[in-house]
Amino acid sequence: MAYKWLISTAVALELASWGAVAAPWHPAVQVISFAMPHAGASALLAVVLQRLLPAPYQEPRTSGLLCLFSIGFFIPFLGALGLFTTTLLALYLPKRTRIAPWEVTQFPDLPFRPLVVSPQPLYGEGGLAAVLRHAADPGKRHQAVMATRHIRDQEAIPILRLALKDTVDDVRLLAYSMLSNKEQVINGRLKNQLSQLQQTMDPPLRGEIHQRIAQDYWELAWLGLAEGEVLIHVLNTAREHVEAALELLADSPGLHFLRGRILLRQGDIKNARVAFAKAQSVGMPEVEVLPYLAEVAFRERRFLDVRAALRALDPLARTHPTLSGVADYWR
């Protein structure tokens, strides 16, 4: 009820102030006659509005009142109207409150999925060969064969050969196909080089081609792609080409070194030793030759020389994974 009286009085005072503006009085009298009732109306309005405000907004009282009064007083009519409409709208048409305060949303999909890294990696302690030997699940064995794509050929080929004996067709066929591809790459190179050799007359160039052919034949043997009689044949052919190359490029350290390795694999230890010594004498770095000289010494049962060759190795070279065990043993 108090609001009604307050509002009615405020409206009456406001109307009176606007009436003073319309009266034919002296401007100074007009200003005073307008300002007095307008100030009263604004004050009453400020009191009413502050009470209508939600409790949290009613504090602090004095400055709140002053603010409301200022808006009403300094923006005549529009200020009052604006304050009324906003306050009333806010009070009587509040924003609809949601029943559930939380909305569950899903993570949006990424444009493509990130790779999933298995928490149980395939390459466990036993390695891929162990997976092939012992995993009961053919899918896992298949995956082990696929994984050989990411390791060096020399390590992959024995694993693929093992997979050729798998009980499941898919695993065997995949291993065969991968082995066959590796072999085909080398055979393709050999074929090209052999045809180049037939067309080339320039001696140094022929020497280089012989060298590349010897290296590819050697790779077939070294990687384990040739076995049995075929291996013997491949090694013989490699030696023929390396010797043909040496006739044209007599001081090539790499060629003498390759010849040494071929001879060593063929079991011709004595000539292998000579070839390695020659390779060293024409400039092959010691670090490359010494491990082979150690092997030659071992196979000739000159064990003191094995130790000497390995001790002469650069300390860094001795840390090479394939050599470190042997080097430690003979220290």
Partner 1 sequence: MNQQPVLRNSTVTAAAPAHPAPAALVHPCTADITLLLEGTYPYVSGGVSSWVHQIIRGLPEFTFALVFLGGDKAHYGPMKYSLPENVIHLECHYLMQPQSKDTHPKPRHGKAQQFADIARLHDYLRAPENGLPPDELRGLLACTVARLGTHGGILHEDFLHGEQAWEVIRRDYTRFCTDPSFVDFFWTIRSMHAPLFMLTSIAQSVPPTRVFHAVSTGYAGFLGMLLRQQRNCPFILTEHGIYTKERKIDLTQADWIKDARETFGGGLDDDVSYMRRLWIRFFEGIGRLTYATADPIIALYEGNRQRQITDGADPARTQVIPNGIDLARFAPLRARRPEQIPPVIGLLGRVVPIKDIKTFIRAMRTVCNRLPGAEGWIIGPEEEDEDYARECRDLVASLGLEGQVKFLGFQKAEDVLPRLGLLALTSISEALPLVILEGFASGLPVLATDVGSCRELIEGNTVEDRALGAAGEIISIADPEAFARQALQLLTDTQRWHEAQAAGIARVERYYTQVKMHESYRQLYQSALQQV
Judged by CB under 8 A, does residue 125 bind partner 1?
no
Structure tokens at 53: 């405000």
Question: Within 90-109, which residues bind partner 1 (CB under 8 A)?
Answer: 109
Judged by CB under 8 A, does residue 176 bind partner 1?
yes
Judged by CB under 8 A, does residue 117 bind partner 1?
yes
* Span of 1-9, 58-66, 171-179, 267-275 interacting with partner 1 by CB under 8 A: 171-179
Closest CB to partner 1 among residues 213, 275: 213
Alpha-carbon distance values, 123 to 133, 171, 173 (Å): 13, 17, 21
Residues 279 and 287 sit within 8 Å (Cβ to Cβ) = no
CB atoms within 10 A of CB 214: 25
Structure tokens at 191: 């074929």
Binds partner 1 by CB under 8 A, chosen from 12, 16, 35, 146: 146
Per-residue contact flags (x/-) with partner 1 for residues 203 to 242, judged by CB under 8 A? ------------------------xxxx--x---x-----
Residues 71 and 44 sit within 8 Å (Cβ to Cβ) = no
Tell me the residue type at 246.
L
Judged by CB under 8 A, does residue 180 bind partner 1?
yes
Binds partner 1 by CB under 8 A, chosen from 26, 51, 133, 165: 165
For residue 88, what are the contacts with CB-CB under 8 A and spacing of at least 6? 52
Burial class (CB in 10 A: 0-12, 13-18, 19+), 310: buried
The least CB distance from residue 237 to partner 1, in Å, is: 7
The least CB distance from residue 173 to partner 1, in Å, is: 4
Binds partner 1 by CB under 8 A, chosen from 147, 197, 249, 287: 147
Q: Rounded distance, CA 50 to CA 46, Å?
A: 6
The least CB distance from residue 165 to partner 1, in Å, is: 5
Would you call 180 helix, strand, or coil by DSSP? helix
Judged by CB under 8 A, does residue 187 bind partner 1?
yes
Alpha-carbon distance values, 115 to 112, 118, 322 (Å): 9, 9, 33
Judged by CB under 8 A, does residue 164 bind partner 1?
yes
Q: How many helices (H) and strands (E) does the chain have?
A: 16, 0
Binds partner 1 by CB under 8 A, chosen from 26, 134, 191, 320: 191
Q: Rounded distance, CA 326 to CA 3, Å?
A: 103
Judged by CB under 8 A, does residue 312 bind partner 1?
no
Binds partner 1 by CB under 8 A, chosen from 53, 84, 135, 143: 143
Judged by CB under 8 A, does residue 172 bind partner 1?
yes
Structure tokens at 173: 């066929």
Task: Give, to the nearest 10 degrees, the angle between helix 228-248 and helix 253-266.
Answer: 150
| Interacting residue ranges for partner 1, rule: CB under 8 A | 109, 111-115, 117-118, 121-123, 128, 143, 146-147, 150-151, 164-165, 169-170, 172-174, 176-181, 187, 191, 227-230, 233, 237
